[in-house]
Structure 1
Amino acid sequence: MLYAFGSNGRGQLSLGHFEDAHTPTPCLIPSLFPSVPPSEIVAGGNHTALLFPSGECFVAGDNTNNQCCLPSATFPSLTTFYPLSNDHRWEHLSAGWNFTVLIDYGGKVFVSGNGQKGELGLGENSHNALLEEITDFLPGKVIQVASGMAHTLLLTASGDVWGWGAGRKGQLGEPIQSMVPRPRKVEVEFSVSKLDCGRDFSILVSRDNPQHIAVLGNDRYQIGPSLASRLGAEILDIQASWNGVYLLETSGTIKAWGKNDRGQLPPTDLNGITDIAVGSEHALAIAEDKTTNKRRIIAWGWGEHGNCGKPGGGDVIGEVFAPDIPALKIVRIGAGCATSFVWAEE
């Protein structure tokens, strides 16, 4: 079962209405909705997309710019869009502010939505698209795609990185351009194993030396030097918020750096963490009790829209809040722009 809470002004939580939800609320789902957890949960400014292992993709929320890959206005409940052919399947996806990027199993890259800064990757004069392929671009086997507010990074199995969109802060590497309207190879000194996008910066993890992490772009909070001086713990996952970076270590602890005026950075004493989901200015984690093997959701950071799960809403600063989802096993989590998602099972 899928639960959601947080900002819902455009129906992005799939609750059938346009009011924020301050506590985990069951989502409205279509009759043919998959029964297995989604492989990816992504969220843009006011839209959400879920990708399932079957290759099916479901969307909800604002679609005034076709960011939900359908020619209509809004979707207050999850809706699938028709594949390009009967055997067509999606393998990866990401979401920016007003756009969505999808990779199919053939390695083709499709975009849908709106962008004035090259976000669509279709060329300097292309600002709107409805599930349009970026032609003449076959980067090879894609293993990850990530989007920030207005830029996208794509990672291939060979460790190469391609990017497009807003580049004025250097988030797409050298040479620095205000707009990179077509996919361009991002030159770094190592092969990359994982990446993510902040609001106007990028993080890249070295494949051969996971302790080597590069920050490209606007690093106003000196995250790069902090990463360089960290202890050499093994990294399970790395994610970015709009203004921060979060490392989940194999020991079950989290290290984070960046903006912290709303409690975006977690308490330093967290442990037993098995998964994290980082939104724009808040984060969720799955905390597991090793004695009982029970899992619970914890949240912290900016919670104005109820996205930290507190009844009545509100920020969670210097501590964590545990939203209640009774008698269910927590399987997967996701977070977006003041939105939170939990997949739970009996």
Structure 2
Amino acid sequence: MYQVLCCGSNGQYQLGIGNDTDQLELVAAKFEIDGTVTTQLAAEPVEVVCGGNHTLVLFSTGEIYSCGDNTFGQCGHQGGQTIEVFRKIDGKWAKAACGWEFTILVDLEGKVYSCGRGLKGELGLGKGVDGNQLREVIDFGPQAVLSVRSSLNHTVVQLADKRLFGWGNARKGQLGVQNAIGTKLESVIWQPRQLKFEGLDDLQVRFFDVGRDYTAFYSNDYKEYGKKATEKVHVNGDVVGLRTMWSSSHLLVKNEKHLSIKSFGNDSHGQLFPQSAHPVVQQFEIGSEHGLILTDQNSVMAWGWGEHGNCGERSGDEVYEDDLSAAAVTYSLNTIYNQAHPVTRLGSGCATSWITIRKL
């Protein structure tokens, strides 16, 4: 059996625990399965993806459950009512991504669907179309979609042949060099389009992720396109992962002895991985402005902006009495889980933290 534990921001029931109170400590999420609400899960949760105030959990069975703000149908359910505990979305799914008020799903046949709000092209359905229900965006074909990532207002899809497609807000250049309308570049891409980024060879892209107004890639070196500007990044070791916060990027680097995290970008609220920390990293996940790691000791530690309790209860950092947001910054790693049940997956969203455990 499995459980999904969570903490952090919960004003729109996005933790799926049946109330709307922020959580400073981990609690078990609740799932409505066959008419019964339970925290005990027979199928393995393999991924947690988070929007602004809604959350999806993908299971090994291809089922997806959602909860939280459903005002625009972003939870994959009609009606617009808030989903207080996790509820199943119809269908079987291979991949999922969430933006601020929208959701992208990929089924087992390679068809991409969207739902939610699309004022800046987030749904990929054309200008002026909102989603209130799941609608097909594009059919890439079986086994074609390698990865899909969404941020606040844009989505990038990488296919198995390494071609990149995207849609949504393009104003900052986060969707690459677009066709010009007269002398002005398009600020919104309303429907899926193959993307071209200056100086980027699609075939060489190993990892990519999307931040608030930018898209980041790693092939033989790090490149980013959009609002955030970073000088050339020097890495000692083999990069084996890339994840982005809203305004910072984080590389998982394999050295001879261990895995480490190299961070760069905005550090106004402790977003960069603590330089003094040297844990043995097994997994890492990045949220909007905070991160999580799983260590070789089966401990989960958090760092960054923990204003809503997503970094757990503070221990040992400075407290800024005149600035509550600064007081919630965790500059050093803070342990939020250290129990016997093995951790199988991490998830991290907009001021929310997620840990999947296997019950012994």
Q: Which residue of 2 aligns with 1:285?
A: 293
RMSD value, Cα: 1.9
Q: Mean Cα displacement is larger for which, 129-138 or 329-338?
A: 129-138
Alignment coverage as a number of residue pairs: 327
Q: Does the C-alpha gap of structure 1 residues 28 and 308 become closer, same or farther in structure 2, counting only changes over 3 Å?
A: same
CA distance in 1, matches of 2:68, 2:314: 23
1:69-123 per-position Cα deviation (integer Å, ceiling 9, x unaligned) = 001311111110222xxxxx21111000000000111111100101200000001
Counterpart among 189, 194, 199 of residue 212 in structure 2: 199
Paired with 1:177 and 1:213, the residues of 2 have a C-alpha distance of 25
Report what 1:253 is aligned to: 260
1:267 is displaced (CA, Å) by 1.0
Is 2:110 the counterpart of 1:102? Answer: no
Q: TM-score, normalised by structure 2?
A: 0.86
Is the 8 Å Cα contact of residues 300 and 315 (structure 1) preserved in structure 2?
Answer: no
Cα distance in 1 for partners of 2:29, 2:142 equals 36
- What's 1:56 paired with? 63
Q: Which amino acid aligns with 1:80?
A: K
- Does the 8 Å CA contact 1:139/1:156 hold for their aligned counterparts? no
Residue in 2 aligned with 1:114? 117
Deviation per CA, 1:150-195: give whole Å up to 9, x if none.
0000011111110100000000000242100011111143122321
CA distance in 2, matches of 1:302, 1:256: 15
Which residue number corresponds to residue 155 of structure 1?
158
Q: Does residue 212 in structure 1 map to residue 214 in structure 2?
A: no
Q: Residue in 2 aligned with 1:86?
A: none
Which of 19, 22, 32 is residue 21 of structure 2 equivalent to? 19
CA 1:139/1:327 → structure 2, altered by over 3 Å: closer, same or farther? closer
Unaligned runs of 5+ in 2: 35-39, 179-184, 316-323
Asked whether 1:165 is paired with 2:178, we answer: no
Name the structure 1 match of 2:356: 343
Amino acid at match of 2:246: W
Q: Where do 4+ consecutive residues of structure 1 move more than 3 Å?
A: 31-34, 135-140, 311-314
Secondary structure of the residue aligned to 1:321 is strand
Provide the rounded CA distance (Å) in 1 between the counterparts of 2:232 and 2:290. Answer: 20
Residue type of the alignment partner of 1:295: N
Distance apart, 1:38 and its partner CA: 2.0
Q: Distance in 2 between matches of 1:37 and 1:258?
A: 34
Distance across 2 between alignment mates of 1:339 and 1:226: 31
Letter in 1 for 2:306: G
Conserved? CA contact 1:275–1:285, under 8 Å: yes
Deviation at 1:140? 6.7
Q: Which runs of 5+ in 1 are unaligned?
A: 84-88, 289-293
Asked if the contact 1:144–1:155 (Cα under 8 Å) also holds between the matched residues in 2, the reply is: yes
Of 266, 283, 291, 1:275 maps to 283
Tell me, in whole angstroms, the C-alpha distance in 2 between the residues paired with 1:7 and 1:71.
24
Alpha-carbon shift at residue 124 of structure 1 (Å): 1.2
Contact 1:143–1:155, Cα closer than 8 Å, also in 2: yes
C-alpha separation in 2, matches of 1:95 and 1:204:
19
**Secondary structure in 2 matching 1:143:** strand
Cα deviation code 1:5-31 (max 9, x no counterpart): 000001000111000001111111234
Shift in CA distance, 170/139, structure 1 to aligned 2, threshold 3 Å: farther
Distance in 1 of aligned mates of 2:271 and 2:103: 25
